[in-house]
A and B are shown apart, each in its own frame.
Chain A
Amino acid sequence: MSLRIVVTVKYVPDATGDRHFADDLTVDRDDVDGLLSELDEYAVEQALQIAENSDDDVEVTVLTVGPEDAKDALRKALSMGADKAIHVEDDDLHGTDAIGTSLVLAKAVEKAGYDLVVSGMASTDGTMGVVPALLAERLGVPQVTLLSEVNVEDGKVTGRRDGDAASEQLEASLPAVVSVTDQSGEARYPSFKGIMAAKKKPVESWDLSDLDIDADEVGLENAYTTVESASERPARTAGTIVKDEGEGGKQLAEFLASQKFI
């Protein structure tokens, strides 16, 4: 038996950098360092663990849709231990929204061949948390998302989803789309050996024509959503800061009372 896992990873601007928008209201990627979305490291980790715990012949492919530099995200995932990588890159993809991105990912996953897709819980830039659900809808396979615990055995995926009102135990047959949370287990650091090995691992590059997608199905012009404006939030006006010299709690209470909270 073999098990083909495709892990979707996004290349994002560093959240601790000064993120901003370009003139066309898309994310400015030029002035901020990019990296593999930290939340997708958890997806890579779970895929590798599934591979390690399986008696099957497992192949882990990492897939990204993004600009040239997105290769860095793939390299990082390969150095963690993934087997190979696919980079979908095309100038016409600039400004694609969630619906369009899910189309590209779905076509790429199908072309790659898969039994299991593993995604992160959300990207750290768009933070929508919808792409895995969209992928499942497009692929017509079960959506087993936001898992804090995941197991794959006998052609089935099971896991725990901690929701608002309850913690749920889920089960579905493969093929399926899974997403994992940052509660699923710390991601490993790439070892020196892993980093060296990654340099020799294959990275395929596909463009839209490889996926039979027309340019008018994706990109900023054809997006299903339009950003009309983006403005920097005014800095919060400087507040009052006091040093506690025995009365700090009382001074704070005084402030809360002045604001009618008590």
Chain B
Amino acid sequence: MAEVLVYVDHVDGAVRKPTLELLTLARRIGEPVAVALGSGAGDTAATLAEHGAVKVLTHEAAEYADYLVVPKVDALQAAHEAVSPAAVLVPSSAEGKEIAARLALRLGSGVITDAVDLEAGDEGPVATQSVFAASYTTKSRVSKGTPVITVKPNSAAVEAAPAAGAVESLSVTFSEQATGTKVTGRTPRESTGRPELTEAAIVVSGGRGVNGAENFAIIEALADSLGAAVGASRAAVDAGWYPHTNQVGQTGKSVSPQLYIANGISGAIQHRAGMQTSKTIVAVNKDAEAPIFELVDFGVVGDLFDVVPQLTEEVKARKG
């Protein structure tokens, strides 16, 4: 069976959920071979093996943290040479897409970004993309070279599928370009204790209607009662009420949770682009004409300052 390279997104050895979803998709096409790079790479093997990696290629070097993108491209290229895979799958983060594109160019391949599903096909893997702010669904494939495909978080279930996960060290020679862009400083994002926005099963978002940074406490309280991540519209972010890392939409994060709760958000096309593929959508808005209501499974026309706290109390009461 053909092998499929899976690029591992991890933080000091802790594998992030989208990578495990990639392993599920990779198994539809062939045998997953994971590539883990940088500090803690070796610590990823057990988790990856549990989810189907037959092999884990690792390489630790300071370059992966000290320089932008290119060292990782060099490593994936080396892994491609070593394995001759049927496809290369990369998580669709901003960095993941850049790595994938440069790799594809080097391999003489095409690249497909932001796939939301992947199936085996007669002429190679077929990727589903959700485009034009999720108003169209396309199916595409790479027609030249080894397909390089990036996949969005929450596109597949994480499945247990124990495999050997044999660790092999990858030998990588860095290119001249590898040290072109130096990372001279790094401020890790503060952890909020809440789930990662792109990975969360439930996202509770606030928009301009929240009307102030201090009022986001209402949104956070609802999120915490549901174990959800907190999102924000660009209007709320631009006003300085909530950090940009929490922005949902075209220029923020794209989320696809089981449940999305929009509070005081009108539903502009650029916001929809980041949340329209959510399974269930709920909104609270005082304007019955707000476009967000076109998307909802359940909507409440009302003042969020009345509705949201009542909902939070009710959730807490029901959860006991």
Residue of A nearest to B280 (CB): A259
Contact A137 B102 (CB under 8 A): yes
Structural contact, A233 and B180, CB atoms closer than 8 A: no
Proximity string of chain A (229-256) to chain B, C-beta cutoff 8 Å, 1 when within and 0 when not: 1111100100111111011111111011
**Distance in angstroms between the alpha carbons of A47 and B299 in the assembled complex:** 44
Interface centre among B98, B145, B183, B270 (most CB of A within 10 A): B98
Q: Which of B271-312 contact A (CB under 8 A)?
A: 273, 280-282, 284, 288, 293-303, 306-312
B100 within 8 A of partner (CB): yes
Q: Is B48 interfacial (CB 8 A cutoff)? A: no
Tell whether A58 is near chain B: CB-to-CB under 8 Å: no
Interface residues on A, range: 35 or more
Residue A226 interfacial (CB < 8 Å): yes
- Does chain B have a CB within 8 A of A165? yes
Residue of A nearest to B149 (CB): A225
Write the nearest CB–CB distance from B210 to chain A, whole angstroms: 16
Q: Is the interface of A mostly helix, strand, loop or mixed?
A: mixed
B300–A168 touching, CB < 8 Å: no
Q: Is the interface of B mostly helix, strand, loop or mixed?
A: mixed
Chain B residues with Cβ below 8 Å from A252 are 282, 284, 298, 300, 307, 311, 314
| Distance to closest chain A CB from B9 (angstroms) | 9
Q: CB-CB < 8 A to B131: which residues of A? A: 127, 230
In which size bucket is the chain B interface?
35 or more
B226 within 8 A of A: yes
Give complex CA distance A87, B100 in Å: 28
Residues of chain A contacted by B145 (CB below 8 angstroms): 224
If A170-B68, A244-B300, A244-B306 touch, whether A225 touches B185 (CB-CB below 8 Å) is no
- Known contacts A244-B302, A244-B306; is-contact A256 B282 (Cβ 8 Å): yes
Closest to B108 in A: A224
User: What is the bound-complex CA distance between A107 and B198, given in angstroms?
Assistant: 37
Given A98-B101, A228-B141, 13 further pairs, Cβ under 8 A: A15-B133, A133-B69, A133-B98, A134-B105, A145-B68, A162-B244, A163-B95, A164-B95, A227-B139, A233-B130, A242-B299, A244-B302, A249-B312
Sample (10) of A-B pairs whose CB atoms are under 8 Å apart: A21-B136, A164-B93, A166-B186, A166-B187, A230-B131, A240-B297, A240-B298, A241-B296, A244-B307, A253-B311
List residues of chain B with CB under 8 Å of any chain A CB: 11, 68-70, 73, 93-95, 97-98, 100-102, 104-106, 109-114, 126, 130-145, 177, 180-189, 202, 226, 244-245, 250-251, 258-259, 269-270, 273, 280-282, 284, 288, 293-303, 306-315, 318-319
Residues of A within 8 A of B (CB): 15-16, 19-21, 25, 39, 97-99, 102, 121-122, 124-125, 127-130, 133-134, 136-138, 140-146, 158, 161-173, 176, 181-183, 223-233, 236, 239-244, 246-253, 255-257, 259, 261-262
